[in-house]
Structure 1
Amino acid sequence: MNTKAIVLFGHGARDVRWREPFDRLASLWKAQHPSTPVELAFLELMEPNLEQAIASQVAAGATEVVVVPVFFGQGGHLRNDFPVLLSACREKFPGVTLSATPAVGDDLAVLQAIIDFGARAL
């Protein structure tokens, strides 16, 4: 049986309050997709990191993990650091199918949601 899970991957920050919208995002995911486990992961300064989050999903029985980079654009971290991290995780978890979506900011629906948000302020 193929058990799917998702990892929402953000940058991380020194200020713990920066994490609050990510926690809300994970809670919304759980409410709307309760049959698909979700885990947060961070590139730096916060935990869990990507490997830890994937390990947690695998320990819970996931055989397929989709990583969603919650970044506005494809900067250096996503172009350079993220592929290396994802490749290392593929080596560490060879029995698990690991894939990644583009950055959320590359999605037209996300951009439209930001436009709609701004338009409500007018």
Structure 2
Amino acid sequence: MKRGLLLFAHGARDPRWALPFEDVAARVRRADASVAVELSFLEFMTPGLIDAGHALAAQGCTRVEVVPLFLGAGGHVRKDLPALLETLKGAHPQVQWLLRPAVGEDDGVVAAMAAASLRPADTR
């Protein structure tokens, strides 16, 4: 069983907005080269979730975990994302598509945000 991770972020018109998400994807790839990783976006940026999902299926992934890179599970995660996943399930029924909780709901992420908030500002 080949594992894939489909990282899903919102997207923005400013290309610099994607830099932290690209860093997340790069760090995941470095941490475990056996996992296929694709970064995708809901809008304004490419690839979209469907194209990135097709790419993971084409790489032979039989289990793909979809990781919403959102702080909370708002409408995009609760409504838009499941509809997109249904499209992928229909196109690739041989792949097990698993939706994980939004990363912002993970205690480690919340702890990291709290710790970052407490660091003194850089006053250069």
| TM-score strictly above 0.5 | yes
Matches for 1:17-32 after TM superposition, within 5 Å: 17-32=16-31
Quote the RMSD (CA, aligned, Å). 1.1
Gaps of 5+ in 2: none
Runs of 4+ in 1 over 4 A off after TM superposition: none
Deviations 1:35-61 (A, max 9, x none): 111110111111111111111111111
- Equivalent residue for 2:113? 114
Number of residue-to-residue matches in the alignment? 121
Does residue 98 in structure 1 map to residue 94 in structure 2? no
- The alpha carbon displacement at 1:120 in A equals 2.2
Does residue 49 in structure 1 map to residue 58 in structure 2? no
- The alpha carbon displacement at 1:87 in A equals 1.1
Q: Percent identity?
A: 41
- The alpha carbon displacement at 1:92 in A equals 1.1
- Matched letter for residue 39 of structure 2: L
Which secondary structure state, in structure 1, belongs to the residue aligned with residue 34 of structure 2?
coil
Which secondary structure state, in structure 2, belongs to the residue aligned with residue 62 of structure 1?
coil
Gaps of 5+ in 1: none
Deviations 1:61-91 (A, max 9, x none): 1111100000011111111111111111111
- Matched letter for residue 63 of structure 1: T
- Matched letter for residue 115 of structure 1: A
Does residue 78 in structure 1 map to residue 77 in structure 2? yes
- Equivalent residue for 1:39? 38
